[in-house]
């Protein structure tokens, strides 16, 4: 073991899963498995050693997170990986963490679900000048959440964990889109979604802006495993859609085929309605009991903010071709995703009529977008209705839709 490396146990709650060498800047070295705890080894790292190294790297906050570079500098970290190690790789999404060899820490001592913390890193990505969160700070700050938008974890007065998210640029549309998605799922009577609420946030120039918040759907008894991690359990062909490999893994873990299809059908059709272009494999997850390892179903639908043409300039909204929308998901063309839908009537188009006054919460110069957004949404509703009446929307387009 080199002088700049230390040994840590990877823990799943209080179970020692393996012994790892980690350098001071967070790079993983050799790994020795505890065969007696093999069932608790991360699913995404089981295929080979390289997959486990990838799993470890994926726990760190992305370097591309807005404000990450300045936050790292102010907190004295050389990288997001070193921040990960310093914060014991704790997360509010699962029950894995690391314990330095020779120390006698326990899950009860350290976990973020029951111990107070302040997400100093997240706070600094929101506001580079001030720490406006005055909750008790502990050494166990949160340094493991995926995604590139500003995010911070907080604790409400009753002890419940929640995440606050910001937006890109000068618009608040991404946050409003999350609230729009919440209303859509409410009207559909769908149970498996994450509700988002509007929240005031302090911006870099001391202005008050609009963000959104959601409560953590994970706990000491429920952890999340992303679809991306699940896909590391199977070999996939280059350029292959991940839909069927993901289905194969979920079914092998005990999920029923009917449940898988119904959830995916609903998610694909509601994403289509909202023109959500960002249902990538880290925005789909399953839930698991960390003690029994039983699969509990899909995580409630989350992260729908990159929708409703949020990144299309106003002057281009009139030229949007809804049959040619590209997306980061199982397939690149949005309309082709509908090929996976088994039950076309799982979404009630009549109950998908939406109140667009929500978007009046955006800054004044962005409110001119509202009639255009409503017009595009109504076109998508009409298109989904045609799909439900038997029209295959991906057929007949010379561009290969």
Q: Note the pLDDT of residue 24.
A: 81
pTM: 0.89
Q: Note the pLDDT of residue 124.
A: 52
Contact 304, 274 (CB under 8 A): yes
**Burial of 13 (C-beta count, 10 Å sphere; 0-12/13-18/19+):** middle
143-179 tens-digit pLDDT: 333 344 578 888 888 889 999 888 877 789 999 999 9
Domain ranges of the chain: 5-165, 223-388
User: Tokens in use for 290?
Assistant: 């960390």
Stretches in the chain below the pLDDT threshold 70: 1-3, 61-82, 119-149, 203-206, 396-401
Question: For residue 75, how many C-alpha atoms fall within 13 Å in the half-sphere facing its CB?
Answer: 29
Q: Note the pLDDT of residue 401.
A: 31
Contact 121, 31 (CB under 8 A): no
* Ramachandran angles phi, psi of 333, nearest 5°: -90, 125
76-129 tens-digit pLDDT: 556 656 677 888 889 999 999 999 999 999 999 999 999 988 766 555 555 433
The CATH number of the structural domain formed by 223-388 is 1.10.1070.20
How far apart, in Å, do the first and last CA atoms of the chain sit?
Answer: 54
Distance (Å, rounded) from C-alpha 393 to C-alpha 401? 8
Q: Note the pLDDT of residue 65.
A: 47
3-state secondary structure 14-80: CEEEEEEEEECCCCEEEEEECHHHHHHCCHHHCCCHHHHHHHHHHCCCCCCCCCHHHHHHHHCCCCH
* Ramachandran angles phi, psi of 93, nearest 5°: -115, -25
């Amino acid at each position: 073991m080199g002088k700049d490396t230390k040994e840590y146990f990877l823990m799943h709650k209080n179970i020692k899963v393996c012994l790892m060498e980690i350098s001071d800047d967070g790079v993983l070295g050799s790994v020795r498995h505890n065969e007696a705890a093999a069932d608790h080894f991360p699913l995404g790292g089981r295929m080979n050693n390289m997959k486990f190294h990838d799993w470890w790297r994926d726990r760190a906050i992305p370097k591309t997170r807005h404000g990450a570079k300045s936050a790292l500098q102010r907190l004295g970290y050389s990288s997001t990986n070193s921040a990960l190690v310093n914060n014991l790789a704790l997360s509010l999404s699962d029950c894995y963490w690391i314990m330095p060899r020779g120390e006698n820490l326990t899950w009860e001592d350290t976990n973020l679900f029951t111990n107070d913390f302040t997400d100093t890193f997240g706070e600094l990505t929101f506001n580079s000048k001030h720490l406006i969160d005055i909750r008790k700070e502990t050494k166990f700050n949160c340094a493991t959440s995926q995604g590139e938008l500003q995010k911070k974890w907080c604790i409400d007065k009753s002890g419940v964990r929640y995440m606050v998210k910001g937006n890109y640029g000068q618009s608040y549309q991404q946050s409003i889109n999350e609230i729009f998605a919440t209303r859509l799922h409410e009207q559909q009577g769908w149970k498996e979604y994450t509700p988002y609420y509007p929240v005031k946030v302090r911006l870099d120039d001391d202005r008050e802006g609009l963000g959104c918040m959601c409560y953590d759907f994970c706990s000491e008894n429920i952890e999340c495993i992303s679809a991306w991690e699940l896909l590391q359990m199977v070999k996939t062909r280059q350029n292959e859609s991940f839909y069927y490999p993901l289905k194969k893994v979920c079914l092998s873990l005990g999920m029923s085929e009917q449940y898988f299809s119904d959830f995916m059908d609903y998610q694909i059709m509601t994403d289509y309605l909202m023109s959500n272009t960002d249902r990538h494999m880290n925005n789909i997850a399953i839930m698991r009991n960390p003690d029994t390892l039983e699969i509990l179903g899909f995580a409630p639908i989350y992260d729908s903010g990159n929708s409703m043409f949020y990144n299309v300039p106003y002057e281009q909204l009139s030229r949007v071709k809804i049959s040619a929308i590209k997306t980061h998901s199982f397939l690149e063309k949005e309309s082709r995703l509908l090929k996976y839908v088994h039950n076309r009537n799982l979404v009630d188009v009549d109950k998908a009529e939406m109140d667009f006054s929500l978007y009046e919460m955006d800054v004044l110069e962005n409110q001119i977008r509202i009639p255009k957004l409503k017009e595009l949404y109504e076109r998508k509703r009409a298109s989904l209705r045609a799909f439900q009446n038997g029209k295959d929307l991906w057929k007949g387009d010379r561009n290969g839709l």
